[in-house]
Amino acid sequence: MSETPWQGDACGLVDAFRAGDRHPTEELEATLSAIEGSELNAFSFLDPDAALAAAGAADVSAPFGGVPLGIKELDQVEGWPDTEACVALADHVAGWTTTHVERLVGAGAVPVGLTTASEFGGVNLTRTVLNGVTRNPWNTDRTPGGSSGGSAAAVAGGLLTLATGGDGGGSIRIPAGFTGLLGLKTTYGRIPRGPHFQVGALTVTVGGLTRSVRDTARWLDVANGADVHDPHSLPRIDGWEAGLGAHLDELRGLRVAIIDDFAGAVVSPATSTLVRSAAEALVEDLGLRRVDVDVSIPSVGTAWSLANMAGTFAVLGDTWPACADDLTPEMRFACEWAWQRGLDFGALVRLEERRTALFEAMATLFTEVDLVITSTNPDVAFAAEGPLPSVFGGVEDTMANNGRLTIPSNLYGNPAISIPVGVVDGLPVGMQVLGRHHADALLLDAAWVVERERPWPLVAPGPV
């Protein structure tokens, strides 16, 4: 019997199950033991009895047959807590399971429990009043990011191979970058949301935190495709895993811009140097054509925040403002800021004007280039307890700088992927590649080439 969870990728674990080298029940028991002994605080809820029953009945011929799965606590699983990581909602229980999770379970994945997240997915720091501080397995004094921080910590920390995430402003890519994982924000609608899907700000995509490109491709094979509960979901596309590497000829000769300060972001010099070196290597590997562009991406932090706060208030309901003292400082500030501004018609008009300006700027950018390469984060992971930094590699800015590199793709809806490319001061750095709408397969192939030519560690160094 294995004493530690599988330290390879999920596809390799399925192969081991099929070969009889490991058994799903054995794997789950090792996973539960590792979670119990972990200092990462990556899980807020576990359902071991149901998980053991599912592992015992697992069909290993399925795509993820027998693979333990962490589910971000902002997702819904019927009968499990549905708290939005907020004390004010601590007693809420989900009355349904999301389509995304149902598809993963239908493909054989074994739900273990809920991974920690930031309140309402609002900040790139996973520290809440309800759950405490979640830590980065590369350095437990640092954050794994947010809002999918628990999922990233669990996968990079060797607790399990797969966990769900959601990306409304970088919440898959940011933790992936901070913990050395692959993080794909798909084209909006690629994986459906729902049921009971609130359209809201049209920024959130769902997906996973994985250790390898083939894991992400298999995830798409399982989870993509239209669903009647999501009016914005896209038609199904097959062959993601089988097609890895099939688009290299299509990539050759495409125009690419390497932009250090994308969307006006301030990036630490060390991060910028590492990402630029990795980007130049990828340009050579793929035969891309470098171009220089001068496109100004407008500041969209305020528009993004206001658009998403409407959904937060909808969930808080009549608990606001009495619940203000139960919120983390970041979420309380955001709620009070939005409440004082008021979401009146004037504010909504200004929001749409800024969003339209971003759409036009991004459209202009993608008429001049096919791909954009930049950093995922402006610096390496900061302190696990917070606060959000305003200094990046010695360069001063504001806290809003933390999401400048990722938010534009959420508002515009185009795909973007974070690829591990090395470390600075012992902490992972992610390179972000952005593409046009529906270019998800091209981004996977770009990541596949990086993984092949410069493999990254599948888990953080050190013991589980």
DSSP string, 237-289: ---TTTTTTTTHHHHTT-EEEE-TTGGG----HHHHHHHHHHHHHHHHHHT-E
Cβ-Cβ contacts under 8 Å for 348 (sequence gap 6 or more): none
What are the residue ranges of helices labelled H in 47-188?
48-56, 99-106, 149-156, 173-179
Single out the residue of 55, 61, 50, 76 nearest to residue 19, CA to CA: 61
CB 141 within 8 A of CB 383: yes
DSSP state of 197: -
State how far the Cα of 89 lies from the Cα of 101, in Å rounded to an integer.
21
CB 184 within 8 A of CB 207: yes
Single out the residue of 149, 130, 18 nearest to residue 72, CA to CA: 149
DSSP state of 95: S
Longest dimension (CA), the chain: 63
CB 401 within 8 A of CB 265: yes
Q: In the structure encoding, which two tokens stand for residue 309, read together?
A: 């706060």
Catalytic residue among 44, 72, 118, 375: 72
Catalytic residue among 148, 151, 171, 418: 171
State how far the Cα of 269 lies from the Cα of 188, in Å rounded to an integer.
32
State how far the Cα of 128 lies from the Cα of 399, in Å rounded to an integer.
18
DSSP string, 219-234: HHHHH-S-BTTBTTPP
Q: In the structure encoding, which two tokens stand for residue 334, read together?
A: 């955001």
Catalytic residue among 38, 44, 147, 233: 147
Residue where the block lists tokens 């090395």: 422
Q: Using H for helix, E for strand and C for coil, what is the string for 125-143?
A: CCEECCCEECCECCECCEC
Half-sphere exposure of 409 (CA within 13 A, CB side): 35
DSSP string, 340-377: HH---HHHHHHHHHHHHHHHHHHHHHHHH-SEEEEESS
Total length of the chain: 464
* First and final C-alpha spacing in the chain: 16
State how far the Cα of 446 lies from the Cα of 207, in Å rounded to an integer.
18
Q: Name residue 221's amino acid.
A: D
Is 171 among the residues known to form the active site?
A: yes
Is 185 among the residues known to form the active site?
A: no
| Residues involved in catalysis | 72, 147, 171
